[in-house]
Structure 1
Amino acid sequence: MNQNNGMQKRMLIMTLVVFVFFIAYEFLVLKPQQEARAQKAKEELSQKQNAAPDVNTVATQTLSTDVNGNPVDMSKSADALSSKAIASSQIVSVIKTAKNVIEIDTLGRVAQVTLLEKKYKDENTNQIKLLESNQLRPLEVRFADANLNTEAFKVNVIASSSNVDATTQVQELILTQNLTNSILTKKFTIYPDGHYDLTVSTTNDKQFFISNGFRPNVLADMYAVHGFISKLNDNTLKTIEDGDLDKNENIVGAKFISNFDRYYATVIYNFEKSLNVTVMPDSSSNPQGFIHGGNSISFSGYIGPKNHRDLEALNPELIDVIDYGWFTFIAKPMFLLLQFIQGYIGNWGWTIVILTILIKLVLYPLSYKGMVSMQKLKDLAPKMKEIQARYKDDKQKQSMHMMELYKKHGANPMGGCLPLILQIPVFFAIYRVLLNAIELKGAPWILWVHDLAEMDPYFVLPILMGATMYLQQKITPNTMQDEMQKKIFQFLPVVFTFFFLWFPAGLTLYWFINNLFTIGQQYYINKVFERKRAEKA
């Protein structure tokens, strides 16, 4: 029993430490960083408006190769994120599809992607722009020849058209860059759904590398993974999170590469001829992917939301761009079930409610065993105290008599913990699904909840979640003997409520409904045991 209490105490303390760390990190680190970036963005935007520089004068990275032919970074990229504003003088072609607007700059790179669907709006109700103006841009070409590379950052491309309307039918765009010893050509085929095919070639056998750019920077927070992901020919996934890359990494035989934040991604893929990639760290150890292009390469690309159906329509394997972390094997089928239910219900909020109920029903046998075990331990508490007092100086005898007591009454000191441990993968999986599902973006539920991907604006759901967690504690048998443990345990609903204030409403809704049904199950078990006690009396 002492060992069990000790384990419970360690688990509670660990839980509190983790949550305090998250909260402290959110307020002491992330928020000041976000505020600093926002202030810097305003200052840079103001400077641009006063004197917009030509793109060729903007600091760029130059690249040469090492002895193995891999790209080598010759200068540092910008440390801080800037605003997403792009000077019109930098743009040579504007592509409009049914889903987005893609702006091509004077060096033939994707300077900006603006999402057109109504639900993709920022906090100022403007249509979301995905890319930062002074980060590595998608489709930037680096030459192996250092001299040619230097020249390439000074020579503007020539576009076959300054405006391309691909809203209803497939269109083409050709970009040509005339260099001293080579001509670089990019031939786009652009589709109404926003994706493209691209062939890049050079004359005179000039070797180059091409990047899918720095990740979109719309929502990169502490709660979700953001960085680089690649799918290899053996169907394994390689993920490198932002800040974790300290040296170049070579990837041979990739089906796709992607840089992503919580909801959006830049993707380059080729499922017929695999890609060889070098991933380089920028000055902040963030991963930047460069595809080995040789003197000619063809692939397809997509820059936009990590929407499950959109990615699946391009190729089912692109669903792997959505990273659910350790519990992907549970999270993927769980999302498919969520999407299936939503197809009938039509409302993502009620879909979450129904999914939560289904999960509770499936896990009910485990929950029931845990609750019954806790009730038995509660009934045995007086006898356990008696044994502890009688053999307080002989721990071996104390443990022996405790085991005899458990065996006689069919109680298991771990019975309440084991079912919970077995449910943890499911909880983490649904957490990951709801955290990364951009399908919840702009999805309303009822009355005050207009966007399940955003926090509850009036904190109703977090407060209800905390209240139900407190009520759940009150009716759940507590076998803790230590008063300090009890106080820590009683404080958890407050900590969780505070923590969930800024969580997406969809995730908080799941937790609230889960608590509600746990209370119902616990109430039923309590009534059954009360009836049994009355019968014995």
Structure 2
Amino acid sequence: MNQNNGMQKRMLIMTVVVFVFFIAYEFLVLKPQQEAKAAQAKQEQTTTQKATPEANMVATDVSGNPIDMSKSVEALSSKAIASSEIISVITTARNIIEIDNLGRIAQITLLEAKYKDEDGNKIKLFEANQLRPLEVRFEDKNVNEKAFKVAASSSAATLNASSSKQELIITQNLGETVLTKKFTIYPDGHYDLNVTSTNNKNFFITNGFRPNVLADMYAVHGLMAQLADGTLQTIEDGDLDKIENLNGIKFISNFDRYYATVIYNFEKTLAISLMPDAEANAQAFIHAKDNITFSGYAGPKNFKDLAALNKELTHVIDYGWFTFIAKPMFLLLQFLQSYIGNWGWTIVALTILIKLVLYPLSYKGMVSMQKLKDLAPKMKDIQAKYKDDKQKQSMHMMELYKKHGANPMGGCLPLILQIPVFFAIYRVLLNSIELKGAEWIWWVHDLAEMDPYFVLPILMGASMFLQQKITPNTMQDEMQKKIFQMLPVIFTFFFLWFPAGLTLYWFVNNVFTISQQYYINKIFERKRAEKQ
């Protein structure tokens, strides 16, 4: 096999691995892997609890001083306890917050029109039997048992905070101990909270399990914590196999693809113990001693809403490994949308802008492929002439490349350099709830959902096929050619279920790549005609 053919093969393999198998990984590998990890973690957790129920239970407070948690093992490892009795309903401009008779947030219903499920109903963040936000668990076993039997009382059965902040007090009288939660609820749906217990009874409070509205394989979902130095620690669902203690925490967030439950304090940091549930998902318990103050938010991971609460809360939006590129790209997308007004056309504009910035790289790669195509007959002659002497074959190939200014890696390098940009825009369009309910044109009513008529995936596949047809290809191996020809079909299949916004980006990207390739092909055709 000659050098160019080998280079083409490596380029093909790279393309398939990076794109096709990356997408296939999301569908075919990730979920089974997560289930296997969860099963293993569950088994290990059960074994550990039977053997040493107090293992790894040493935690520390915000100052780094040890806290004896040995008395709290049973309390913290209790299963989620459901309650159907609601004692207070708070209505804000953006949501309805229901408080149950254990003083927890039982449910949050989103009121904004765009937050609806597949059946057109208003989105509710929590499932029936999950760990509830603001659930308190006492270190003292006896007090803890009472806390899950004695009903709390509320200062108001209903509260309207849609236009101004309101206060609510939840009281739970446990005999020798009284637990009090003092809320200040704001029209935007967030709240401030002070929780106290009398008689120096230490307790822990949780932000609950994550919202379970959309936890698919496309995006990361689990728990995220921001440390005092600004670094982020993320634990995906199914990945926590033992108790972990974190100090100096600014915020803790349990999240799915679009929604999060967040507790934060940027003035005085929090000390937290993370405990795995039966499926190795992370549950956060905040060390409160007998008094704690913080703020909370549960709802969409909308950039502007989070920034309005605190700029650091925008870190709740996770873009994965390419955050350093993805976050600026999202800010650019948001900036363009403020002028264009339509998220679909904003994606088109962003795609064109990216193509213009990367045009020098694309141009070099396309020119290099054209030169290699022109040199293919001479390369074939060298291959035949020195078929028994690979060293001479390689030497003459290099001389040929040098003489004609061709670079065998010229077609690969531009693609490699563009991969981080692709993954960044992939994550931006995948994780941006701003696209939720955003219309583009008449048949696409939600850019965050799949194209209902599969128009964009089919156009994307057709444009990819056309792109292949006009792109120079010197592959001589028939198997390579067949695999390469199958890529449009494979991509079309995967993109049938992808968000319309992401498919739109890829389609527009293909269209402009075709136009660039067509332009360069015409230039080389004129040059060939001039030489004849």
1:171, 1:12 → 2: CA distance? 56
Deviation at 1:483, TM superposition (A): 1.1
Q: Is the 8 A contact 2:150 2:173 kept in 1?
A: yes
User: Contact (CA 8 Å) 2:241, 2:280: kept in 1 or not?
Assistant: yes
Report the AA paired with residue 468 of structure 1: S
The answer for the alignment partner of 1:380 in structure 2 is: 375
User: What amino acid is the match of 1:431?
Assistant: Y
Determine the structure 1 residue equivalent to 2:290: 295
**Quick one: distance in 2 between partners of 1:275 and 1:119?**
34
Of residues 358, 364, 368, the one that matches 1:363 is 358
2:490 aligns to what? Answer: 495
Partner residue, 2:249: 254
Establish whether residue 96 from structure 1 lines up as the match of residue 91 from structure 2: yes
Residue 248 of structure 1: how far off its partner (Å):
1.1
1:14 match: 17
Q: Give me the whole-angstrom Cα distance separating, in 2, the residues matched to 1:442 and 1:278.
A: 37
Distance, in Å, in 1 between the alignment partners of 2:56 and 2:9 is 57
- The alignment status of 1:329 with 2:324, answered yes or no, reads yes
CA distance in 1, matches of 2:373, 2:275: 58
Q: Does the residue aligned with 2:508 lie in a helix, a strand or coil?
A: helix
Deviation at 1:72, TM superposition (A): 3.6
Which residue in the other structure is 1:472 paired with? Answer: 467
> What is the deviation of 1:7?
2.0
Q: Structure 1 residue 12: deviation in Å?
A: 5.0
1:346 matched to 2:345: no
Alignment-derived partner of residue 304 in structure 1: 299
CA contact (8 A) 2:12 2:484 kept: no
Q: Counterpart amino acid of 1:280? A: M
Q: Is the 8 A contact 2:9 2:480 kept in 1?
A: no
Q: CA deviation at 1:237?
A: 0.7
Deviation at 1:119, TM superposition (A): 0.6
Superposition pairs of residues 274-293 of structure 1, within 5 angstroms: 274-293=269-288
What residue ranges of structure 1 are gaps of 5+ in the alignment?
Answer: 33-61
Q: CA deviation at 1:69?
A: 2.8
Q: How many residues align?
A: 499
| Matches for 1:191-210 after TM superposition, within 5 Å | 191-210=186-205
- Partner Cα distance (2:12, 2:349) in 1: 34
1:480-519 to structure 2, matched below 5 A, reads: 480-519=475-514
Structure 2, gaps ≥5 residues long: 36-52, 59-66
Alignment of 1:111 with 2:114, yes or no, is no
CA contact (8 A) 1:101 1:115 kept: yes
C-alpha change, 1:360 and 1:12, in structure 2 (3 Å) is closer
Contact 1:64 1:146 in 2 (8 A): no
Quote how far apart the aligned CAs of 1:92 are: 0.9
- Residue 208 of structure 1: how far off its partner (Å): 0.9
Determine the C-alpha separation between the residues in 1 that align with 2:484 and 2:99. 56
Does the residue aligned with 1:411 lie in a helix, a strand or coil? coil
CA positional deviation for 1:378: 0.7
Give the counterpart letter for 2:217 in structure 1.
M
Per-residue deviation, 1:63: 11
Q: Which amino acid counterpart does residue 68 of structure 2 have in structure 1? A: G
Cα shift readout 1:266-299 (whole Å, capped 9, x = no counterpart) = 0000000011111111110111111111110000
Distance 2:454 2:176 in 1: 63
Shift of residue 401 of structure 1? 1.2
Match of 1:163 in 2: 158
Partner of 2:449: 454
- Cα offsets for 1:77-97 (capped at 9, x unmatched): 47xxx9xxx87x521111110
What is the CA–CA distance in structure 1 between the aligned matches of 2:137 and 2:28, rounded to whole Å? 41
Identity of aligned residues (%): 73
Deviates more, 1:242-251 or 1:12-21: 12-21
1:496-522 CA-to-partner distances (Å, cap 9, x unmatched) read: 000000111111111110000000000
Check conservation: 1:63, 1:144, Cα contact below 8 A: no
Larger relative contact order (CA 8 Å, sep ≥ 6): 2
Q: Give yes or no for contact 1:63–1:149 (8 Å, CA) kept in 2.
A: no
Q: Tell me the distance in 2 between the aligned counterparts of 1:150 and 1:117.
A: 39
2:126 aligns with: 131
Matching residue's letter, 2:118: E
TM-score (normalised: structure 2): 0.90
Deviations along 1:227-284, one digit per CA (max 9) or x if unpaired, are 0111111111111101111011111101111000010000000000011111111110
Aligned partners of 1:373, 1:152: CA distance in 2, in Å? 72
State which of 408, 414, 437 in structure 2 corresponds to 1:413.
Answer: 408
Distance 1:314 1:535 in 2: 65
**Distance in 2 between the 1:207 and 1:227 partners?**
27
Residue pair 1:76, 1:283 contacting (<8 A) in 2 also = no
**1:368-398 CA distance string (max 9 Å, x none):** 0111111111111111111112222222111
d(CA) in 2 for partners of 1:149, 1:63: 18
Shift of 1:29: 6.6
Mapped to 2, the partners of 1:444 and 1:409 lie a distance apart of: 50
Match of 2:40 in 1: none
Kept in 2, the 8 Å contact 1:12–1:489? The answer is: no
Query: Secondary structure at 1:94's aligned position in 2?
Result: strand
Structure 2 CA distance for aligned equivalents of residues 301 and 17 of structure 1: 39
The CA deviation at 1:225 is 0.6
In the TM superposition, residue 11 of structure 1 has moved relative to its aligned partner by: 2.4
1:69 aligns with 68
In structure 2, do the counterparts of structure 1 residues 329 and 441 end up closer, same or farther at CA, with 3 Å as the change threshold?
Answer: same
Is contact 2:27-2:217 (8 Å) kept? Answer: no
In the alignment, is the contact (CA less than 8 A) between 1:64 and 1:145 conserved in 2? no
1:237-276 equivalences in 2 (<5 Å): 237-276=232-271
Work out the CA distance in 1 between the residues paired with 2:323 and 2:153: 44
Report the Cα offset of residue 13 of structure 1: 5.3
Task: Say whether 1:221 aligns with 2:220.
Answer: no
The code of the aligned residue for 1:208 comes to F
- Cα-Cα RMSD: 2.2
Give me the TM-score of the superposition, normalised by structure 1.
0.89
Task: Compute the displacement of 1:14 (Å).
Answer: 3.1
Does the CA-based 8 Å contact 2:372-2:408 persist in structure 1? yes
Shift of 1:151: 1.6
Q: Which residue pairs with 2:529 in the alignment?
A: 534
Give CA deviations for 1:64-109 in whole Å, capped at 9, x if unaligned. Answer: 994553464664647xxx9xxx87x521111110000000111111
- Measured in 2, the distance between the counterparts of 1:351 and 1:206 equals 55
Taking the TM superposition and a 5 Å limit, the aligned residue runs for 1:73-84 are 75=77, 77=79
Change (3 A) 1:485 1:345: same
> Aligned with 1:219: secondary structure?
coil
- CA-CA distance at 1:17 after TM superposition: 4.4
Aligned partner (choices 189, 198, 206) of residue 184 of structure 2? 189
Q: Matched residue of 1:464: which SS?
A: helix
User: Match of 1:341, as an amino acid?
Assistant: L
SS of the residue aligned with 2:159? strand
